[in-house]
Structure 1
């Protein structure tokens, strides 16, 4: 994927109501993680190289500056978990796309919504989805992570929200594609578990399908503006080093069978956006000269 990194033309989207923002209230953590990223000597150079798609760039792997979570007093150089790299599974994404515009795409999360298919909370359930409806919004431009956002790029959150809300509200075909993807994830997990010789793979998948059928009428009735939340996993708490906005059905009913393992680290995407727009200075050195004109 290759597209402009300038998102400033997207109108500011209204956040969902407080009841649908379970990850809000973490401004201090957002500020600390953003500041820690830019304190790394390689941050600007590596983020710029990734944005340009520079596979020949020597991306940092270790740093004299300890990242968040490093053992207190540990001698450097320190490993940089989840740091910027030349390629990720979301870079140049070529998989099935549920919706797109000029600058963002919406894709499905590959995991089943049902944590029981992974053994439940005590047995690897963290690999499950975070909600019965769990999608991902990806920028086509190579944006690294929420911590690397600047005022020029912060409205990627608005771009994702606007595209998702419009499709959910207006397109029955989009909804059907989302539902089909979520159910296919149950089937995929059944095949994975069977291949790993788990004797209960079919039983757990059948249970998940029953739960899905029971949830479906309520899921189909969800309101685009009020019933979905948008989350970000900030460095170093993320899984893929290409920015992706988690789009989740937010209510307790929709999340009752899904993992909560990631709730602590998930930040409200609108809270991240507002922090960047209100407190972060622009970094023109990140962008191509042609894009600055």
Structure 2
């Protein structure tokens, strides 16, 4: 086994032990499974922020509930082109944070704060919810997969640009015109790069390696089982943050640990009924 794989095994095992040893975790998981919106969630991370409960975002779907995550009933809460493929058990979605304009320059944010790390990890950053790897490989081998990915990335970039530009235009700040000019300059460069990345991806799909990974509790941002899929070639991370690499565990390590747990459960008191 490689050093990296061994490190991931140990780290994921440690995180799992800490998680299942947390007082009250079984009760909280049962409340989450039952979608109990009256429960006060204190342990699980990545649920809908309290200010958004009862609200509709993206102008799509029903209002968010306390027990929801941003991936709950995903197709109902999002624009159709964000779902690239679906099976009975999982969705392949485009991670719009990867194409957030905040990624490209710390100056580009209506709040004037550097939120670079809030953005994504690769030109192509897909998220799989549930059944995962087999679904992705099936999707990736389809004739239309790359075009769907590139189209979703383009739409995410342009939608975020429009949101930020409108925020600047509504702002009374004296720096708004300067910031809008900077946004336009950065986006011009990013659009050129996106076209180049898209063409590279389109012509080399069969030889393109992908990386599968997970962010384990408490280092995840969305409290819903999902797998990250990134392009392995460093060129696709030219405009991407590396801030999340340290917490990304390999698919193989996670699969190995969960396989051992299934064979010989180590959960205190046994698996939840």
TM value normalised by structure 2: 0.73
Matches of 1:205 and 1:191, distance apart in 2: 11
Higher helix share: 2
**Residues 101 and 89 of structure 1: is their aligned pair in 2 closer, same or farther, counting only changes over 3 Å?**
same
The offset of 1:25, in angstroms, is 3.9
**Residues 274 and 214 of structure 1: is their aligned pair in 2 closer, same or farther, counting only changes over 3 Å?**
same
Q: 2:95 aligns with which of 105, 109, 112?
A: 109
1:200-255 Cα distance to aligned partner (Å, 9 max, x none): 22221111110011122221245569611111111111111112211111211111
Matches of 1:88 and 1:53, distance apart in 2: 11
> Match of 1:231, SS?
strand
Residue number in structure 1 paired with 2:137? 165
**Residues 226 and 125 of structure 1: is their aligned pair in 2 closer, same or farther, counting only changes over 3 Å?**
same
Residue number in structure 2 paired with 1:218? 200
Gaps of 5+ in 1: 1-17, 62-79, 140-158, 288-293
Residue number in structure 1 paired with 2:212? 230
Contact 2:146 2:205 in 1 (8 A): no
1:35-91 Cα distance to aligned partner (Å, 9 max, x none): 1100112222222332233334x3442xxxxxxxxxxxxxxxxxx472776111111
Residue number in structure 2 paired with 1:10? none
**Residues 100 and 132 of structure 1: is their aligned pair in 2 closer, same or farther, counting only changes over 3 Å?**
same
Contact 1:117 1:208 in 2 (8 A): no
Q: Write the mapping of 1:69-148 to structure 2, written as runs, cut at 5 A.
A: 80=43, 82=45, 86-93=67-74, 94=76, 95=78, 96=80, 97-111=83-97, 112=99, 115-119=103-107, 123-139=114-130
The offset of 1:260, in angstroms, is 0.6
Matches of 1:201 and 1:23, distance apart in 2: 40
Contact 1:108 1:135 in 2 (8 A): yes
**Is 1:261 matched with 2:261?**
no
Q: Which has the higher contact order (CA 8 A, sep 6+)?
A: 1
Matches of 1:47 and 1:269, distance apart in 2: 23
> Match of 1:264, SS?
helix
Task: Give me the CA root mean square deviation.
Answer: 2.8
**Residues 81 and 53 of structure 1: is their aligned pair in 2 closer, same or farther, counting only changes over 3 Å?**
closer
1:122-175 Cα distance to aligned partner (Å, 9 max, x none): 932212221110111113xxxxxxxxxxxxxxxxxxx31111111111232x32
Q: 1:246 aligns with which of 221, 224, 228?
A: 228
**Is 1:271 matched with 2:253?**
yes
Contact 1:30 1:272 in 2 (8 A): yes
Contact 2:46 2:222 in 1 (8 A): no
**Residues 279 and 83 of structure 1: is their aligned pair in 2 closer, same or farther, counting only changes over 3 Å?**
same
Matches of 2:143 and 2:210, distance apart in 1: 16
Runs ≥4 residues deviating over 6 A:
none
Matches of 1:179 and 1:113, distance apart in 2: 15
Gaps of 5+ in 2: 48-65, 169-178
